[in-house]
Amino acid sequence: MKSRWSYMVFVLLGPLSVGCPADEKPVAPVHAPAAPPPVRRAQLKGLQGDVKVKRAAGDEWLPAQEGMPLFENDKVRTVAGAGAQIVFANGSIVNLGDDALIGIAETRPRPGQERTDLTVLRGRVDAEMEDPARQSLTVTTPAATVRAGREIVFQ
């Protein structure tokens, strides 16, 4: 069975690698899958003062609400005197200080665990991982990348 599949793959894909002569019928292209729906990465809590959220697909800054879900590529902004708590799905907590701008970055799945990524463009965040043996957090800034928790690989 396996060898039959391999033979079929060879026959089907062989022409792709060397190109098709004009008189041959081209092999139907393999369509890329449709974009997956946005993945819920975190939740906004402990809102203080003026906190706004910009969705990945939107251009407008919306007033944040307690318990609001955050998705990949969403942005959160606080003004002077404001603050918020971002609770990630894996339990990592990031406290966002005032006058800050952060983005929820895309998450690359790892076998057996989740990996959270956060981009801090301005301001200060205080991160806390209750169980660093199982949690991880990667914070990127314009100058550096900060990695903490389980998925640390130092090569």
Choice from 7, 11, 12, 65 touching other proteins (CB under 8 A): 12
Q: Within 27-66, which residues bind other proteins (CB under 8 A)? A: 30-31
Considering the rule CB under 8 A, would residue 126 count as an interface residue with other proteins? yes
Q: List the end-to-end C-alpha distance of the chain, in Å, as a whole number.
A: 41
Considering the rule CB under 8 A, would residue 154 count as an interface residue with other proteins? yes
What is the distance of C-alpha 110 from the center of its chain? Answer: 12
Q: How far apart are CA 99 and CA 77, in angstroms?
A: 7
SS3 state of residue 17? helix
| Full DSSP string of 62-78 | EE--TT-EEETT-EEEE
Considering the rule CB under 8 A, would residue 128 count as an interface residue with other proteins? yes
Query: Beta strand pairing status for 83-88 and 61-63?
Result: unpaired
Considering the rule CB under 8 A, would residue 144 count as an interface residue with other proteins? yes
Choice from 9, 20, 39, 79 touching other proteins (CB under 8 A): 9
Which CB sits closer to other proteins, 66 or 131? 131
Considering the rule CB under 8 A, would residue 122 count as an interface residue with other proteins? yes
Considering the rule CB under 8 A, would residue 103 count as an interface residue with other proteins? no
Q: Judging by beta carbons within 10 Å of its beta carbon (0-12, 13-18, 19+), is residue 9 exposed, middle or buried? A: exposed
Which CB sits closer to other proteins, 49 or 63? 49
SS3 state of residue 134? coil
Q: Which stretch binds other proteins (CB under 8 A): 18-26, 50-58, 60-68, 114-122?
A: 114-122
- In angstroms, give the least distance from the CB of 20 to other proteins: 17
- In angstroms, give the least distance from the CB of 109 to other proteins: 13
- At residue 91, what are phi and psi to the nearest 5 degrees? 100, -10
Q: Within 15-34, which residues bind other proteins (CB under 8 A)? A: 30-31
